[in-house]
């Protein structure tokens, strides 16, 4: 087997493990909940619940906050308890989603960025290529592996993105985010 085939196999094995253990979804939810900017001591729940009727981001944030609070065993504010109960009884409709680019999802992006970064060092391949170049970059291999995994996976659990271009963009965007975050945490631990 050639080296590129080994890279595809490496990705296929790792991605299979992530899909089987549902780790990407767990990381995605955790990543979104970490992005929440809700201070329970200062939040005007009434105003936030009212805003959630028309703002899909606020609606999602409230759901995530409730889920995280319940997972941690925290008591919800009485207004949130009523809101959540009404949501579960389907008395509340989710507001229409906004058009435009999706919000960055750090959970999934982190796993894919880490896989790309690890494989490029382990197998000594370039992360990407120019559009006309030979399709033997790390992002090409990951694209092949994702498409292979997705063929045997339920639609709701499929891994995205799947194309070379989307993976290349994800890597470069995430590389800036995660490298800067790592450098900042290193600086603060030294000071």
Q: For residue 20, what pLDDT is reported? A: 87
Convert the pLDDT of each residue in 136-161 to its tens digit: 899 999 999 999 999 988 887 788 88
Nearest of 66, 94, 71 to residue 81 by alpha carbon? 66
Q: Span 102-123, mean pLDDT?
A: 82
- Start-end of H helices in the chain: 3-20, 23-35, 45-52, 56-71, 78-88, 106-123, 138-151, 164-190
The residue written with tokens 């959630």 in the block is: 52
**Residue 68 pLDDT > 90:** no
**Residue 6 pLDDT > 90:** yes
**Residue 191 pLDDT > 60:** no
- Residue 162 and residue 147 in contact, taking contact as beta carbons nearer than 8 Å: yes
Lowest mean pLDDT among 108-117, 122-131, 177-186: 177-186
Q: For residue 99, what pLDDT is reported? A: 73
Lowest mean pLDDT among 7-21, 43-57, 72-86, 104-118: 104-118
């Amino acid at each position: 087997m050639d080296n590129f085939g080994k890279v595809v196999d490496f990705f296929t094995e790792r991605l299979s493990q992530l899909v089987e253990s549902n780790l990407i979804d767990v990381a995605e939810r955790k990543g979104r909940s970490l992005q929440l900017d809700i201070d329970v001591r200062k939040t005007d729940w009434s105003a936030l619940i009212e805003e959630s009727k028309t703002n899909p981001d606020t609606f999602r944030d409230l759901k995530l906050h409730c889920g995280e609070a319940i997972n941690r065993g925290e008591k919800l504010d009485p207004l949130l308890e009523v809101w959540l109960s009404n949501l579960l009884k389907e008395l509340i409709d989710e507001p229409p989603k906004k058009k435009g680019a999706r919000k960055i999802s750090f959970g999934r992006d982190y796993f894919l960025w880490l896989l790309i970064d690890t494989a490029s060092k382990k197998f000594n391949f370039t992360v990407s290529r120019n559009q006309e170049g030979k399709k033997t970059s790390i992002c090409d291999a990951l694209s092949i592996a994702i498409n292979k995994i997705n063929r045997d996976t339920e639609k709701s659990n499929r891994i995205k993105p799947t194309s070379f271009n989307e993976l290349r963009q994800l890597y470069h965007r995430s590389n800036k985010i995660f490298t800067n975050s790592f450098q900042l945490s290193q600086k603060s631990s030294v000071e």
